[in-house]
């Protein structure tokens, strides 16, 4: 069996499972964000009175942090009241940041767990060897009532990454390259595992970016076998015991792909699809009115660090708005302590409250018709960040920062004199407070 | 549950994401009647004016990819959608729609066999799809027993309510 299968088998109380089988699994943590008031509605519509286990439920108010309209404020208010009534203590309010980063920062994510959230990018938790998957409101409400959810055992695809990242190339460029080749529906109903020597050298931040973006190829979940990097990150955060699962040596993958990352150059996903991927050099000189650095995909300390490195002592181009959204309060505090915020604000960046911000076109940086944005987030669907006639290019944080500096798409490698991620000293960032 | 569905087709392409089915700027709405007003607005702002209860949506690959927002399924349920047929579906949308009792059928190559306005007849039991306008037929993948059980019980809400509904 694969490690993912072993996790689901254990959660279902079974000795073994096979691809395609439907199993009913205990869920270790269920997370609800503030887009999903319907979760509470569905809970009551299904006859719910008391949640099955309040310790296994968390509410994180991130998509509307803080509320911009009366309706958003009303929805958040009802969620706070629900948590109070149900004795759910894990309520993270609008000061905390994007749910996935918040859960990782606070030690709620650990290897071998089953984590279900009302957010498609829950695949990100494969970076810790957890089974993470996104669902809608009614599935989540089912977990609140029963403590369980059904899953179909997915076919598993292996993506092996060899080689060393060249200067100015990051995990984001690699995963864009992979999605560009395999396409947006390649992994629908499937799971994706990343293996290989390149993955072993990736920081937790880079691994989170890889796993996060598997959602954009349709994946149900993703996985990276925990190693010393993982344990170093978890130490001091996770306060409980956990079990490490490992795949059997004779496990047969549904498909295997191998990439040499040393041959990869900076990549961009051009409008209006995440699999419309081309080398960044094809777009050099394209003016951008907004550069967006943040979200669960690209708003971690390492991402702010590379932006600070590119912009130190320089100014954001006057024709470009450079929005920076730290993924969490923990990220914000560390970026402040390390001076990245000072550097970026002095350069002319606009800081936004930690959270999802403009990524999904709800608030804090909406695009007008005809505008172009380069973004470190995950999606460039039509209308995703505002007007359907706005254009979004998805790239690495370095590519975003380079464009903010030049006012147009620019090659980030020219501003970086060291290789890839190795110059950063931020692999382990501190807990908030 | 209605086992045979007949309705007019609305046809969409590949990778229709949930932002196009239900744009992010309306996510704060929670009343299904309000949500319904914005169904498919990101790709076809005239959709809700033309669409009639019982009509059918046809799409190419990966319909409903992207965000997990249940609003996408809620909006289509609230406009009275008869069924959705696509070459393939985004997995979270698939679950959300089945949970709400919307018949969803994976039907390879269906996109090429239907034009907007064609009248379709779908037999959920056999998976046979007949385009009554053109005479073409297609075979959808049969629904799994588990999915059929959810649909027959009117979605997951009545099912969970019956099984786990708390009296106290």
Cα torsion B76, B80, B83, B85: sign: negative
Nearest residue to A165 (alpha-carbon basis) of A209, A197, A128, A192: A197
Contacts of A45 in chain B (CB under 8 A): 157, 161
Query: Would you call B38 an interface residue with chain A, using a CB distance cutoff of 8 Å?
Result: no
Beta bridge partners of A149: A25
pLDDT, mean over chain B: 95
Residue range A66-76, pLDDT digits in tens: 999 999 999 99
Domains for chain B: give ranges and CATH numbers: 4-164 (3.20.19.10)
User: What integer pLDDT is reported at residue B2 of this predicted model?
Assistant: 86
User: What integer pLDDT is reported at residue A425 of this predicted model?
Assistant: 38
Q: Residue A427: which pLDDT band, with cuts at 50, 70 and 90? A: very low
Mean pLDDT along residues A372-382: 97
Contact A71 B28 (CB under 8 A): yes
Query: Would you call A139 an interface residue with chain B, using a CB distance cutoff of 8 Å?
Result: yes
B-interface mutation test, from A136, A222, A360, most B Cβ less than 10 A away: A136
Query: Would you call B61 an interface residue with chain A, using a CB distance cutoff of 8 Å?
Result: yes
Nearest by CB to residue A381, choosing from B20, B29, B30, is B20
Q: Is the ipTM of this complex over 0.90?
A: yes
User: What integer pLDDT is reported at residue A9 of this predicted model?
Assistant: 98
Nearest by CB to residue A361, choosing from B25, B30, B73, is B25
User: What integer pLDDT is reported at residue A418 of this predicted model?
Assistant: 55
Model confidence at A422: pLDDT above 70: no
Q: Residue A424: which pLDDT band, with cuts at 50, 70 and 90? A: very low
User: What integer pLDDT is reported at residue A226 of this predicted model?
Assistant: 98
pLDDT, mean over chain A: 95
Nearest by CB to residue A139, choosing from B66, B99, B164, is B99
Residue range A268-300, pLDDT digits in tens: 999 999 999 999 999 999 999 999 999 999 999
Residue range B19-78, pLDDT digits in tens: 999 999 999 999 999 999 999 999 999 999 999 999 999 999 999 999 999 999 999 999
User: What integer pLDDT is reported at residue A229 of this predicted model?
Assistant: 97
Residue range A320-335, pLDDT digits in tens: 999 999 999 999 999 9
Contact A184 B62 (CB under 8 A): yes
Mean pLDDT along residues B92-115: 97
Rounded to two decimals, the pTM is: 0.95
If you measure CA to CA, which chain B residue comes closest to A146? B164
Contacts of B17 in chain A (CB under 8 A): 379, 381
User: What integer pLDDT is reported at residue A281 of this predicted model?
Assistant: 98
Nearest residue to B112 (alpha-carbon basis) of B62, B64, B44, B60: B60
Nearest by CB to residue A138, choosing from B89, B156, B166, is B156
How many other CB atoms sit within 10 Å of the CB of residue A282? 11
If you measure CA to CA, which chain A residue comes closest to B144? A22
Q: Residue B166: which pLDDT band, with cuts at 50, 70 and 90? A: low
Q: Residue B168: which pLDDT band, with cuts at 50, 70 and 90? A: low
Is the distance from CB of A221 to CB of A133 less than 8 angstroms? yes
Model confidence at A420: pLDDT above 70: no
Percent of chain A with pLDDT over 90: 96
Contact B67 A50 (CB under 8 A): no
User: What integer pLDDT is reported at residue B164 of this predicted model?
Assistant: 87
Contacts of B100 in chain A (CB under 8 A): 138
Contact A35 B20 (CB under 8 A): no
Domains for chain A: give ranges and CATH numbers: 3-259 (3.30.499.10), 267-415 (3.30.499.10)
Compare A407 and B145 and report the one with higher pLDDT.
A407
Half-sphere exposure for B7 (CA within 13 Å, toward CB): 22
Query: Would you call B101 an interface residue with chain A, using a CB distance cutoff of 8 Å?
Result: no
Compare A413 and B1 and report the one with higher pLDDT.
A413
Model confidence at A256: pLDDT above 80: yes
Strands A277-279, B56-59: parallel, antiparallel or unpaired by DSSP? unpaired
Residue range A126-181, pLDDT digits in tens: 999 999 999 999 999 999 999 999 999 999 999 999 999 999 999 999 999 999 99
Contact B69 A136 (CB under 8 A): yes
Beta-carbon contacts of B51 under 8 Å, excluding residues fewer than 6 positions away, are B10, B39, B40, B79, B81
User: What integer pLDDT is reported at residue A421 of this predicted model?
Assistant: 44
User: What integer pLDDT is reported at residue B1 of this predicted model?
Assistant: 81
């Amino acid at each position: 069996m694969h490690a993912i299968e072993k996790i689901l088998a254990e959660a279902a109380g079974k000795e073994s499972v096979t691809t395609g089988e439907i199993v009913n699994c205990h869920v270790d943590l269920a997370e609800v964000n503030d887009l999903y008031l319907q979760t509470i509605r569905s809970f009551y519509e299904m006859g719910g009175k008391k949640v099955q286990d309040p310790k296994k439920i968390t509410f994180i108010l991130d998509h509307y942090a803080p509320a911009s309209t009366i309706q958003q404020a009303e929805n958040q208010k009802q969620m706070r009241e629900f948590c109070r009534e149900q004795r759910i203590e894990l309520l993270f309010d609008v000061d905390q940041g994007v749910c996935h980063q918040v859960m990782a920062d606070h030690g709620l994510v650990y290897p071998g767990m089953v984590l279900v959230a009302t957010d498609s990018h829950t695949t990100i938790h494969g970076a810790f060897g957890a089974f993470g998957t996104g669902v809608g409101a009614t599935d989540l409400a089912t977990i609140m009532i029963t403590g369980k959810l059904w899953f179909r055992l997915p076919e598993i695809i292996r993506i092996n990454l060899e080689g060393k990242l060249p200067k100015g190339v990051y995990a984001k460029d690699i995963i864009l390259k992979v999605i560009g080749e395999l396409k947006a529906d390649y992994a629908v109903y499937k799971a994706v595992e990343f293996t290989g020597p390149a993955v072993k050298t990736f920081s937790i931040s880079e691994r989170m970016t890889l796993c996060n973006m598997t959602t954009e190829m349709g994946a149900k979940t993703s996985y990276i076998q925990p190693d010393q990097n993982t344990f170093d990150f978890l130490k001091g955060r996770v306060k409980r015991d956990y079990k490490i699962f490992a795949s059997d040596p004779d496990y047969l993958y549904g498909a295997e792909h191998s990439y040499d990352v040393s041959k990869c150059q900076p990549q961009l996903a051009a409008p209006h699809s995440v699999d419309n991927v081309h080398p960044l050099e094809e777009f050099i000189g394209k003016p951008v009115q907004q550069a967006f650095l943040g979200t669960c995909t690209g708003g971690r300390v390492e991402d702010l660090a590379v932006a600070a490195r590119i912009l130190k002592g320089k100014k954001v181009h006057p024709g470009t708005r450079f929005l920076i959204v730290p993924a969490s309060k923990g990220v914000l505090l560390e970026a402040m302590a390390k001076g990245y915020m000072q550097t970026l604000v002095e350069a002319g960046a606009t800081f936004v409250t930690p959270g999802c911000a403009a990524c999904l076109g709800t608030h804090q940086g909406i695009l007008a018709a005809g505008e172009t944005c380069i973004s470190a987030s995950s999606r460039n669907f039509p209308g995703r960040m505002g007007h359907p006639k706005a254009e979004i290019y998805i790239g690495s944080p370095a590519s975003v920062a380079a464009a903010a500096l030049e006012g147009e798409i620019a090659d980030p490698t020219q501003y970086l004199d060291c290789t890839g991620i190795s110059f950063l000293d931020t692999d382990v960032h501190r807990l908030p407070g | 549950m209605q086992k045979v569905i007949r309705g007019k087709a609305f046809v969409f392409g590949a990778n229709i994401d949930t932002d196009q089915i239900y744009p992010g700027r309306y996510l704060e709405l929670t009343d299904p009647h309000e949500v319904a007003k914005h169904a498919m607005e990101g790709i076809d702002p005239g959709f809700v004016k033309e669409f009639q209860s019982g009509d059918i949506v046809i799409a190419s690959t990966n319909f409903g990819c992207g965000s997990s927002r249940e609003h996408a399924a809620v909006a289509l349920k609230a406009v009275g959608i008869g069924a959705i047929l696509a070459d393939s579906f985004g997995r979270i949308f698939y679950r959300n729609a089945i949970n709400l009792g919307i018949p969803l059928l994976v039907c390879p190559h269906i996109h090429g066999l239907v034009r907007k306005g064609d009248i379709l007849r779908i037999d959920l039991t056999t998976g046979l799809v007949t385009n009554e306008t053109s005479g073409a037929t297609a075979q959808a993948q049969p629904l799994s027993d588990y999915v059929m059980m959810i649909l027959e019980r009117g979605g997951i809400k009545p099912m969970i309510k019956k099984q786990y509904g708390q009296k106290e």
